[in-house]
Homo-oligomer: A and B are copies of this chain.
């Protein structure tokens, strides 16, 4: 039997796709504790770091567009974690800012990264290698 480029096990992209979903699934019990979905969690990460950001910049950080972000940001606003307000200098821009409640949530999220790492089944070196390869791909 010769090599078949269309066999699932010969794909690089499939384990990437499958791993990504499996890992997000592993986050769920931890994220449930703080009431966030994975996409909401990474959005909050950007805001924990930057405090303020517009939708376009946020989308560039997360590789997401307004079709995904607009409803998600409305939800985070309804939860009281962020505010949404048009910029006075340029009304096209929507300024997303973290609230006190949003800041406070960071305390509760603090332990999540470590708990996640410990259930990944990769050692230090492998994690570093994977991190490097994925980021190289992303820069393309």
Q: Which residues of A contact B (CB under 8 A)?
A: 4-8, 10-24, 27, 38, 42, 45-46, 48-49, 61-63, 106, 109-110, 112-114, 116-117, 119-122, 126-127, 129-131, 133-140
Contact of A61 among B8, B20, B42, B137 (CB under 8 A): B8
The number of times this chain is found in the oligomer is 2
Interfacial chain B residues near A139, Cβ < 8 Å: 121
Contact B23 A16 (CB under 8 A): yes
Considering the complex, give the chain B residue whose CB is closest to the CB of A135: B15
Contact A8 B42 (CB under 8 A): yes
Measured between alpha carbons, how far is A8 from B23 in the docked complex, in Å? 16
Interface of chain A, helix or strand or loop or mixed?
A: helix
Contact B18 A24 (CB under 8 A): no
Measured between alpha carbons, how far is A38 from B21 in the docked complex, in Å? 14
Knowing A19-B16, A126-B136 are in contact, say whether A45-B110 is a contact too (CB < 8 A). no
Contact A121 B109 (CB under 8 A): no
Contact B19 A137 (CB under 8 A): yes
Interfacial chain B residues near A127, Cβ < 8 Å: 12
* Pairs A-B, 7 closest by C-beta atoms: A121-B140, A20-B20, A15-B134, A5-B113, A18-B63, A8-B45, A130-B133
